[in-house]
């Protein structure tokens, strides 16, 4: 996706430790026009996939995911990065955060995903921990993740390799080859 790749090169910033900062247009300040183009591209790439709902993890996944939900007319369920005491019929999983270097519990209410075919959308694919957590939650609720879409995949981390063992199709709109020496190199 040319528009996204150009924006990553012009406005993204590579930090020490292999972190890409895109807070000027993706996950803090949001460029809604770009985000809509991103959502359209996800819809185009998943045209042949049959799914009932879109699922993401709060907070950064919600922006692209809600626009995919809007375009397709399907509901969006966002998995929570907490364990709300008022949640009914909770299904939960442990996720290790690459950026925060700690584990946290993610949760969802079973009734919103039970028996559904899910399209998982997120901002980044790094080591695949968030995606694995959502797949685990889906299994616990007798639901199925049938495809995954990532705005940015860090191709130098092991996420794709780990997820490919699950046999779920993966679509990434921009793949980062390397962030070595704090330089952004796209694939």
Q: Can you give the binding site for ligand 5GP, defined by CB under 6 A?
A: 19-20, 22, 27, 60, 98-99, 122-130, 154, 159
Toward ligand 5GP, which CB reaches closer, 27 or 46?
27
Nearest to 129 by CA among 107, 104, 96, 153: 96
155-163: long-range contacts, CB 8 A cutoff, minimum separation 24 = 155/187, 156/18, 157/18, 157/98, 157/125, 157/126, 157/127, 158/127, 158/128, 159/125, 159/126, 159/127, 159/128, 159/131, 160/125, 160/128, 162/127, 162/128, 162/132, 163/125, 163/128, 163/131, 163/132
User: What is the smallest separation between the CB atom of 73 and ligand 5GP, expressed in angstroms?
Assistant: 25
User: What is the smallest separation between the CB atom of 69 and ligand 5GP, expressed in angstroms?
Assistant: 18
Toward ligand 5GP, which CB reaches closer, 80 or 154?
154
Toward ligand 5GP, which CB reaches closer, 59 or 142?
59
Q: Cα Rg for the chain, rounded, in angstroms?
A: 16
User: What is the smallest separation between the CB atom of 85 and ligand 5GP, expressed in angstroms?
Assistant: 24
User: What is the smallest separation between the CB atom of 174 and ligand 5GP, expressed in angstroms?
Assistant: 12
Toward ligand 5GP, which CB reaches closer, 86 or 101?
101
């Amino acid at each position: 996706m040319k528009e996204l790749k150009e924006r990553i090169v012009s406005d993204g910033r590579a930090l020490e430790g292999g972190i890409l900062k895109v807070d000027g247009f993706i996950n803090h300040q949001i460029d809604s026009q770009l985000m809509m183009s991103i959502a359209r591209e996800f819809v185009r790439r998943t045209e042949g996939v049959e799914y009932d709902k879109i699922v993401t993890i709060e907070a950064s996944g919600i922006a692209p995911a809600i626009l995919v939900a809007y375009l397709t007319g399907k509901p969006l369920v966002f998995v929570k990065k907490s364990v709300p005491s008022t949640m009914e019929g909770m299904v939960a999983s442990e996720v290790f955060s690459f950026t925060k270097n700690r584990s946290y519990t993610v949760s969802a209410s079973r009734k919103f995903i039970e028996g559904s075919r899910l399209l998982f959308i997120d901002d980044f694919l790094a080591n695949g921990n968030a995606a694995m957590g959502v797949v685990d939650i889906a299994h616990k609720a007798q639901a199925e993740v049938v495809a995954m879409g990532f705005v940015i995949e860090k191709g130098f981390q092991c996420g794709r390799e780990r997820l490919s063992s699950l046999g779920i199709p993966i679509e990434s709109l921009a793949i980062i080859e390397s962030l070595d020496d704090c330089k952004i190199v796209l694939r």
